[in-house]
């Protein structure tokens, strides 16, 4: 293989490695995932219709009591009922905000019923709203709980405690106060308020009307019964999450927390003792939604992530336990905690981070290791979306801006490539002159490069620049809810999903779904935009002379085809970016080649491609 084409081969290999790696680690067939999700929904996954076990405080050494639900409970006969039946079984306070519908369970005082008004399961506006939290007794219980633990067993509210509410509806302008008197001198009050977005504020107060002091620890938790269906992509975290003060971001998948010992309050994964941390949150996150408990950022607490075996499956829990509060007779104490339960909208999460001073709350969104690229890229896309009202248009504009930003580097790369083409005759002469002496051949070529100021690997830079941008844009499209169900034009109704059309059913004219074909289905969903991307890549290949080496020539010929099939399963927004970027690259390369006096091979190569005549038959 000739040395002057090595840089191009390196660029191709790098691109192939990136895309094959993406396909292997991130792009498992969507049809199989949907099938598994459907099976899980149809399976009989029952959950216990029973309260959490009471706290089991350890008296030895004055250790802090445990958070409810973090120790195994006595198995009970599991029951399961419909969501409607479970909601009707307990007295409730209705939640009604511009973004949330649901209720607070007066039995236990839990926030266990939250649906999102602005989000539906599919792009069909008639599809059901997203259900985030569900009560115990349903197929998939998922709820938040707050309260107190201490040495006063039997005198503290539990999951079976029935609270008294001062009103029947919780709105942004009308908070609700729950009250319960334990009959032993302690009166508990829980005031719940909610804003117009996704944040609940829970103020727990205890009044000691007895004659003896009481020591209590405040707690908050998010509990999820049964492992949910996850996408399983390496690029996305789904599971338990938290920022525990200076210990920073903590992430545990459902499988990881099930395989290793639970992460207890007071320790991290390597056994380092935590005396208590300040700031942060603990919770459970899905791709687009999350439920997270947020302690008072000024008060120390201990965070933990646990998994225990319930009667029919695992119960995953994110917990926070506050420092002891000692109440003398006649005294009252109060702690304030918060619950985020909703969609992980970037603007909303960032606003809470800033307004409430929640430490690193923006990490609730999985920006990944390249946070410094992905989040600014989203902010730029969001700016143009607000200007034009279309994320697809924003992607096109940002692609142009990226081309302008990297123009000086690309200009040097393409200029070097153009000079390589200009000295092609001299390079051929050197190879012929020193055909039997590779050392002298390389020395002569390097002298030629130095004389003409040519960087032989400069052609790799445009691809190397594009790789981090490609991954950053993919991350933005994949993890941000703003891209979910975001339309472009025509048939693209969701930029975060693959192009729904396929050439193998003539783009919908034939009445069958190629994606349902076993094994090959995902590769048969070859839509309009992946085909357009392949055409632009083919045009970009035709900008350069055909390589003399036959193997290299075949690689170049098949590259657009391979990329077209591989990108067929990518989000449509990413394919649109790639096609538009290719088209801009062709224009940019043509401009630079003309500027450097190098012949543009595009038209000659196209003419050769379409004017080839079959060789005459030999008689």
Q: What are the distances in angstroms from CA 36 to CA 127, 132, 234?
A: 20, 20, 18
Q: Which residues pair with 314 in a beta bridge?
A: 309
What is the SS3 assignment for 243-264?
A: EEHHHCEEEEEHHHHHHCCCEC
| Helix or strand (DSSP H, E) at 588 | helix 572-595
Among 235, 238, 210, 206, CA closest to 224: 238
Tokens, residue 412: 């040097």
State the DSSP string of 41-104: HHS---B--SPPPPP----GGGPPPPPTTSS-------B---HHHHHHHS-EEEEE-SSEEEEE
CA distance 589 to 560: 18
112 within 8 A of 225, measured Cβ to Cβ: no
291 within 8 A of 144, measured Cβ to Cβ: yes
pTM for the full model?
Answer: 0.78
CA distance 18 to 330: 67
> Parallel, antiparallel, or unpaired for β 92-96 and 100-105?
antiparallel
571 within 8 A of 478, measured Cβ to Cβ: yes
Instruction: Give the residue ranges of the chain where pLDDT is below 50.
Output: 1-5, 7-8, 11, 20, 22-63, 74-75, 77, 265-274, 617-619
311 within 8 A of 78, measured Cβ to Cβ: yes
CA distance 399 to 583: 11
CA distance 443 to 605: 32
Residue 311: strand, helix, or coil: coil
- Per-residue DSSP letter, 107: B
At residue 271, the pLDDT reads: 36
Burial of 548 (0-12, 13-18, 19+ CB in 10 A): exposed
Among 343, 310, 295, CA closest to 146: 295
CA distance 573 to 575: 6
Residues whose CB falls within 8 Å of the CB of residue 226, separated by 6 or more in sequence, listed in order: 45, 47, 139, 140, 141, 312, 313, 314, 315
Q: Within 10 Å of residue 359's Cβ, how many Cβ atoms?
A: 18
What is the SS3 assignment for 357-412?
A: CCCCHHHHCCCCCCHHHHHHHHHHHHHHHHHHCCHHHHHHHHHHHHHHHCHHHHHH
- Start-to-end CA distance of the chain, whole Å, equals 35
At residue 469, the pLDDT reads: 77
Tokens, residue 193: 């308020």
CA distance 363 to 357: 13
At residue 58, the pLDDT reads: 31
At residue 312, the pLDDT reads: 67
326 within 8 A of 214, measured Cβ to Cβ: yes
CA distance 39 to 240: 24
């Amino acid at each position: 293989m000739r040395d002057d084409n090595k840089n191009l081969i390196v660029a191709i290999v790098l691109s192939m490695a990136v895309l094959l790696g993406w396909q292997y680690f991130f792009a498992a067939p969507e049809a199989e995932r949907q099938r598994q999700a459907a099976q899980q929904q149809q399976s009989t996954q029952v959950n216990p219709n029973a309260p959490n076990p009471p706290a089991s405080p350890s008296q030895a050494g004055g250790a802090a009591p445990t958070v409810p639900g973090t120790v195994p409970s006595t198995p009970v006969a599991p029951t399961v009922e419909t969501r409607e039946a479970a909601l009707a079984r307990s007295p409730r306070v209705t939640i009604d905000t511009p973004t949330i519908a649901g209720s607070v369970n007066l039995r236990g005082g839990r926030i266990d019923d939250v649906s999102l008004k602005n989000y539906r399961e599919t792009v069909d506006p008639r599809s059901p709203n997203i259900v985030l939290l569900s009560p115990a007794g349903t197929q998939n219980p998922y709820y938040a709980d707050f309260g107190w633990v201490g040495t006063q067993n039997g005198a503290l509210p539990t999951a079976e405690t029935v609270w008294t509410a001062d009103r029947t509806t919780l709105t942004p302008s009308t908070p609700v106060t729950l009250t319960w008197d334990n009959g032993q001198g302690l009166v508990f009050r829980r005031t719940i308020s909610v804003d117009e977005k996704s944040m609940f504020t829970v103020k727990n107060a205890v009044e000691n009307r007895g004659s003896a002091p009481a020591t209590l620890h405040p707690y908050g938790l998010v509990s999820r019964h049964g492992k949910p269906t996850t996408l399983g992509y390496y690029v996305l975290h789904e599971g338990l999450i938290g920022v525990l003060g200076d210990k920073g971001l903590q992430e545990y998948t459902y499988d990881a927390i099930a395989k290793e010992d639970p992460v207890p309050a007071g320790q991290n994964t390597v056994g380092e003792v935590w005396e208590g941390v300040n700031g942060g949150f603990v919770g459970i996150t899905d791709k687009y939604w999350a439920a997270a408990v947020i302690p008072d950022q000024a008060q120390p607490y201990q965070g933990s992530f646990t998994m225990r075996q319930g009667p029919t499956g695992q119960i995953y829990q994110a917990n926070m336990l506050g420092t002891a509060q000692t109440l003398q007779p006649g005294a009252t104490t109060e702690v304030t905690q918060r619950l985020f339960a909703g969609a992980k909208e970037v603007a909303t999460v960032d606003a809470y981070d800033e307004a409430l001073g929640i430490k690193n709350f923006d990490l609730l969104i999985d920006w990944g290791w390249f946070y410094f690229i992905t989040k600014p890229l989203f902010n730029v896309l969001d700016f143009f979306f607000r200007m034009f009202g279309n994320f697809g248009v924003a992607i096109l504009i940002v692609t142009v801006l990226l081309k302008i930003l990297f123009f000086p580097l690309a200009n040097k790369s393409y200029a070097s490539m153009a000079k390589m083409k200009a000295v092609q005759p001299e390079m051929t002469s050197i190879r012929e002159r020193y055909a039997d002496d590779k050392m002298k051949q390389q020395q002569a070529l390097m002298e030629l490069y130095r004389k003409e100021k040519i960087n032989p690997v400069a052609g790799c830079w445009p691809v190397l620049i594009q790789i981090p941008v490609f991954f950053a844009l993919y991350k933005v499209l994949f993890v941000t809810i703003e891209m979910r169900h975001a339309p472009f034009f025509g048939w693209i109704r969701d930029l975060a999903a693959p192009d729904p059309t396929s050439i193998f059913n003539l783009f919908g004219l034939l009445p069958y779904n190629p994606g349902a074909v076993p094994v090959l289905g995902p590769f048969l969903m070859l839509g309009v935009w992946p085909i357009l991307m392949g055409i632009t890549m083919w045009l970009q290949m035709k900008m350069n002379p055909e390589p003399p080496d036959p193997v290299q020539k075949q690689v170049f010929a098949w590259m657009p085809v391979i990329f077209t099939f591989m990108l067929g399963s990518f989000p449509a927004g990413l394919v649109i970016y790639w096609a538009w970027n290719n088209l801009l690259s062709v224009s940019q390369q043509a401009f630079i080649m003309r500027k450097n006096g190098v012949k543009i091979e595009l038209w000659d190569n196209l003419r050769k491609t379409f004017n080839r005549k079959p060789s005459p038959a030999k008689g």
